[in-house]
């Protein structure tokens, strides 16, 4: 699950403390990795990454763990709520389809392949 944030020029995390601030209220979590304004955090039994794509676009993505759809959306909305609290409530979010850079995803064009 990849959530792209548009119009987010002001958004940026500065260290482990900035990552921890993305953990939704009422959820258990910790910052795992940080470097150059990006990083990963554990929320419950899942790992989410926060990445900067360019000067106005960033995204967060479910990288590890299996969540039912309700829990995945609850966590994603919780992260988005924290982003809105800290920066700008006008930041727009959209869910992007299959994350093409994940080598374990199915390829949806010939030649077809199975996940590794």
pLDDT tens figures, 71-109: 998 999 999 899 888 877 677 888 877 555 555 444 444
pTM: 0.76
Give the residue extent of every domain in the chain: 2-96
Residue with the larger pLDDT of the pair 8 and 45: 45
Average pLDDT over residues 9-28: 86
* pLDDT at residue 87, rounded to an integer: 79
| Tokens 């869910």, located at residue | 95
Q: Give every CB contact of residue 50 below 8 A, 6+ residues apart in sequence.
A: 13, 19, 22, 38, 39, 40, 41, 58, 59, 60
Report domain 2-96's class.
alpha beta
Asked if 41 and 20 touch (Cβ cutoff 8 Å), the reply is yes
């Amino acid at each position: 699950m990849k959530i792209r944030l548009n119009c987010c020029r002001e958004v940026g995390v500065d260290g482990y403390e900035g990552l921890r601030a993305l953990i939704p209220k009422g959820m258990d979590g910790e910052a795992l990795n940080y470097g150059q304004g990006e990083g990963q955090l554990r929320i419950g039994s899942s790992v989410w990454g926060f990445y900067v794509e360019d000067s106005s676009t960033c995204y967060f993505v479910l990288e590890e763990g299996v969540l039912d759809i309700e829990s995945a959306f609850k966590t994603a909305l919780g992260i988005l709520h924290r982003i809105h609290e800290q920066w700008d409530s006008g930041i727009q979010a959209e869910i992007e389809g299959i994350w093409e850079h994940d080598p374990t995803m199915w390829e949806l064009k010939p030649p077809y392949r199975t996940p590794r």
